[in-house]
Amino acid sequence: MSAIKQRVELPCISNKENMTEKEKMLAGLPYNAQDEILYKERRNTKRLLRQLNISEYLVTKTAKSIIKQLIPHAQKNLYIEPPFHCDYGYNIYCGENVYFNVNCVLLDCCRIEIGNNVMFGPNVQIYTATHPLGFKERMEYELAKPITIGDHCWIGGNTTICPGVTIGRGSVIGAGSVVNKDIPENSLAVGNPAKVIKQLNGDSAIG
């Protein structure tokens, strides 16, 4: 997987009426999350998560096999410390050497693209899912926006990454931050909302 240079673009939609709910979800359009196909896919994901988080819990050969089924679009050396949670799994795209510490949650209703050599601290939350502000619409449908995290990023523990965000290559997000806007490459960003407080010197930045 090459370095990520720009956010994932949503496809051009010309005929929404003939789209399935899954196609709408992946395209960032309003969709019915209770659709039968989507419901079955989430159930299947939960079965795999139950095996990973309860039956195995340790990173064993069986756990690695479960992770391959759970996240099929991952390169080598994806390391997950259980417990872990995601909605579908197939919308998570990981480069080489990606590490998730315990209790990470990825709501992957839309594509989550993660570059090479990326580390996630404990309790990181990555949300592509969002909802209309009006309560009537919120009862009928939801939305999702893709998230992109570039190569060589470090996401501190208890960070929340909101829908539609891109975090540039080489950036570090301080623990407890809420990232609701794009973060440029080689930046140290902290806080709620996360703000850039320092530019990092690429590969040579220490401390």
Write out the H or E segment, with its range, that includes residue 49: helix 36-50
Active-site entry in 73, 85, 131, 152 = 131
d(CA 27, CA 35): 16
Q: Is 131 tagged catalytic? A: yes
Of 38, 26, 81, 35, nearest to 58 (Cα)?
81
SS3 category, 85: strand
SS3 65: helix
The closest alpha carbon to 1, from 107, 71, 73, belongs to 73
At residue 47, φ and ψ (nearest 5 deg) are -65, -45
Alpha helices in 51-193 (DSSP H): 61-70, 135-140
Q: Which residues are catalytic?
A: 131
